[in-house]
Structure 1
Amino acid sequence: MSAEKITAEKRTEFGKGAARRIRREHKIPAVVYGHGAEPLHVILPGHATMMALKNHGYNALLELSLDGETHLALTKQVQIDPIKRVIEHVDFVAVVRGEKVTVEVPIIVVGEAKPGTLVVTEASSIQLEAEATHVPEQIEVSVEGAVAGTLITAADLPLPQDVSLLVDPATLIVNVTEQVSAAALEADLEQAEVEAGIEKDAPETEAAADSE
């Protein structure tokens, strides 16, 4: 994963009013934490930052140019306006090339399982350890031709070189089950109602006959 180069400005005004002014100028307030230094408050260009995060996903790595210095920053949290769907704020963690970082990487299921099966994704992301400049954008899991009963665990994930799991290898990621028919679902529901002592109302025709 290469670092996207972004020119940043130093942020000197704070508070809600200042943040609103920054956003009105189509810019984004952000902060870079880490490595024992004071948090670095910056202002980022809106469109360039949005495209970088869109192209590189959860863990976008940005190379922030600020006052002649370069800061390598790994995306940790993005705040998005729930109505306007624009980026309101970004939190980064400062990293250096060669260091290991802990990241949450999305899992993408690809392929088609055998007919008559149901593919259940048990985990949509996985916690990994990777070198800061080689964080995978996603991990693809193939279910092509998988039959009912197939279980894919964390240990089965195709991880890139020098990337390691930070979860139990037995963690279930994908479960391929037999697809249940509507009739079978209805039968199971009726059985559950019987076991729970739930009595259904009689059909209208039966109720009318009983009243005669």
Structure 2
Amino acid sequence: MSEIRLSAEVRTEFGKGSARRARRAGLVPAVVYGHGHTPVHLNLPGHDLMLALKTSNALISLSIDGKQEFVLPKAVQRDAIKRTIKHVDLILVKRGEKVTVEIPVHTEGELAPGGNLLEHVLNALPVEAEATHLPESVTVSVEGLEAGASIHAKDITLPAGTTLAVDGDTVVLQVIGAQAEAPAEETEAAEATEAPAEA
């Protein structure tokens, strides 16, 4: 995964008023914490941050007062209507450090014929990987799977250097059989049989 570089400015004003002013200026309030450091309050460029967060588990290289720090998004608060980013929590990471993240599970291929449904029991798979080499996602083949089939976490091939952070027997995907509907003629006949005879 390539790192994304952003420049940050340290916030010296706090409260809702300063946050609103920052957003009007195209900035997003943020907090960086971790490794026992005192949390640092920042403003980040809104447009660049929005583009960065389109990548799952984006590794961001922040320039803070001339010092480069690696961070990962921990919590993103969005406007309920506009979906713009209102605030973001970032956690400090270092090269070589192992971190636990969730990566999206994508599928490829077609199920066996029969109108069965594929259920994503887990939309994202918890994994552990080196902070500066996080996988963006994992792709699983469901080609030819029939009703009742399941794919467990241990069945998924992970990128090199990545390990599961969940029990291997955890079901990630399963195929649900199509619900067969009785023909209309059979339904009507059954209803007629159940109905009491009229005098």
What TM-score do you get using the length of structure 1 for normalisation?
A: 0.83
Identity %: 51
SS in 1 for 2:53: helix
Q: Is the helix fraction higher in 1 or 2?
A: 1
Number of the residue aligned with 1:38: 38
Structure 2 unaligned residues grouped into runs of 5+: none
2:36 equivalent to 1:22: no
Distance 1:109 1:145 in 2: 12
Partner of residue 62 from structure 2, selected from 61, 64, 72: 64
What TM-score do you get using the length of structure 2 for normalisation?
A: 0.88
Equivalent position amino acid for 2:127 in 1 = L
Cα deviation, residue 70, structure 1: 0.5
Distance 1:120 1:182 in 2: 20
Cα deviation, residue 4, structure 1: 0.1
Q: Is the strand fraction higher in 1 or 2?
A: 2
2:159 equivalent to 1:160: yes
Partner of residue 100 from structure 1, selected from 98, 101, 110: 98
Number of the residue aligned with 1:89: 87
Number of the residue aligned with 1:53: 53
Cα deviation, residue 152, structure 1: 0.3
Equivalent position amino acid for 2:17 in 1 = G
Number of the residue aligned with 1:191: none
Number of the residue aligned with 1:119: 118
- Runs of 4+ in structure 1 deviating by more than 3 angstroms, as ranges, are none
Distance 1:41 1:76 in 2: 15
Cα deviation digits, residues 121-155 of structure 1 (max 9, x gap): 11111211100011111121111222223210000
Number of the residue aligned with 2:77: 79
